[in-house]
A = this chain, B = another copy of it.
Amino acid sequence: MREILREIGMIARALDSISNIEFKELELTKGQYLYLVRICENPGIIQEKAAEIIKVDRTTAARAIQKLEMNGFIEKKDDQHNKKIKKLFPTEKGKTVYPIIKREHDYSNSVALEGFSDNEVETIFDLLQRVRKNVEKDWEFVKKGNKRNY
């Protein structure tokens, strides 16, 4: 059994740690870059959806986004037709910070893929997407309170 998930965990923790340290100078505290990036790339997205694509608890997302708003990176706007939801948009400040985050991510990405051929890059991307799709089914299942059987 090839323990691919252990490798993935190590990589993810290392990179998250690096990003959190590097983004402190942007006044972004732990984890916030995750939400800001998604909101910049999907303006109008709602909190619930952001949590789902990031794969984080709804209440964690709620508070992270609250704080992003408080600190002026994003704003919440009411929807015309649906009183329940609040659409999320980056502010000017958020839009200014986005390319800095992007640059960091691109750099980390290039570090991660050092020594990879173009072909290998395509391959790992394809395989990882498949893993992600496999895994997110179980995540949603378990998060909803269901029990996996094994």
B105 pairs with A5, CB closer than 8 A: yes
Chain B residues with Cβ below 8 Å from A113 are: 2, 4, 131, 134
Kindly name the residue among A5, A103, A107, A125 whose own CB sees the greatest number of chain B CB atoms within 10 A: A5
Q: A-side binding surface: helix, strand, loop or mixed?
A: helix
The 0/1 profile, CB within 8 Å of B marked 1, for residues 92-116 of chain A is 0000000000011111110111111
Q: How many residues of A contact B (CB 8 A)?
A: 60
* Contacts A/B (CB < 8 Å), 12 sampled: A4-B109, A4-B125, A8-B11, A8-B128, A10-B135, A11-B128, A12-B12, A17-B55, A17-B139, A18-B138, A21-B143, A120-B127
